[in-house]
Amino acid sequence: MAQMNLLQAINNALDIAMAENESALCFGEDVGHFGGVFRATSGLQEKYGKARCFNTPLVEQGIIGFANGLAAQGSTPIAEIQFADYIFPAFDQIVNESAKFRYRSGNEFNVGNLTIRTPYGGGIAGGLYHSQSPEAYFAHTPGLKIVVPRNPYQAKGLLLASIRDDNPVIFFEPKRLYRASVGEVPEEDYQLPIGKAEVTEQGKDITLLAWGAQMEIIEKAAEMAKKDGVSCELIDLRTILPWDVETVANSVLKTGRLLISQEAPLTAGFASEIAATIQQECFLHLESPIERVCGIDTPYPLSLEKEHAADHLKVYEAIKRSINY
């Protein structure tokens, strides 16, 4: 096993995917020789040539439209959108085209080979246009899969699974952790299941649920709560769509309490969907209302990032609220 940061793990997964599958291509803005602004695609152009790893013009709708065409043709496009904040020009190509290709054609055509990689999230002093977590917009669209890894090991296994999944997948990478998160990652090929949450810590008093970079936050809050004698069960959702209702519901049946934390603003975020479903699944077992600890309902600010964020202290306070309800 090697020590890798999250970017190296992604680069390693892309390398494996391109080596095994000659129809796999990586492209996006600055993705070629430069290796992407975060260097996730470093070395791939040197290794696989300019035809398979290349810079595109600056046009997100073009990148995804082009990728849809490639995927429909049978290639395996792995398209990069430089920041998730800039995915919106491609919104039509993703929600009306990628997501509906198979359905509208009665499976005459599909873009199941498509993977869209994009860095998301805040905590990097990026202000409102370099910090957004837009997963909920896409979760409202049937036909897509949405995956968010929390560390290098997860990133490699989930990205390989996403590339090989026969559905279009949006793979949101927590950019705050790109270099900050380092861990043991096997150099060989492996996959982690899409659609399956992971219980990362067993507990009995309350279930804490998050995804991506927000996992660190709930872990920290759980540590604080532990000192108060509260035992938290931690779950990394890993896949936003389709999400693992069973694992979450089973945990809540055991603990009787649920707290969901997301970086994105509160209203109509994916935490809301989870709360509604779990309230239906576990109604008679709930000891307190389901807590959502989220960003506040404003654009992501630059100078008051910490105030805006769903940090560990806000999660900790919500744990106490839930326990003492």
| 312 labelled catalytic | no
Interaction between residue 130 and other proteins (CB under 8 A): yes
Residue 310, C-beta contacts closer than 8 angstroms, at least 6 positions apart: 214, 217, 261, 262, 263, 293, 294, 295
Q: What residues between 79 and 118 interact with other proteins by CB under 8 A? A: 85-86, 88-89
End-to-end CA distance of the chain: 45
Is 324 a binder of other proteins (CB under 8 A)?
no
Q: Among all chains, which residue has been given the structure tokens 């036909």?
A: 143
273 binds other proteins (CB under 8 A): no
- Binding residue (CB under 8 A) for other proteins from 266, 272, 285, 288: 266
- 179 is a site residue for other proteins (CB under 8 A): no
- Angle of helix 6-20 relative to helix 152-164, nearest 10 degrees, comes to 30
The CA distance from 222 to 157, in Å, is 26
What is the size of the binding site for other proteins (CB under 8 A)? 41
Alpha helix segments (H runs only) across 107-195: 135-139, 152-164
Identify the residue whose tokens are 């979450």: 248
Give yes or no: 60 in active site.
Answer: yes
Minimum Å gap between C-beta 35 and other proteins is 8
CA atoms within 13 A on the CB side of 277: 15
Nearest approach, Cβ of 262 to other proteins (angstroms)?
A: 15
Instruction: Point out the catalytic residue in the list 130, 233, 263, 305.
Output: 130
Q: Point out which residues bind other proteins (CB under 8 A).
A: 29-30, 32-34, 37, 54-55, 57-62, 85-86, 88-89, 125-130, 266-267, 296-299, 301-304, 306-308, 311, 313-314, 317
The residues that are catalytic are 60, 130
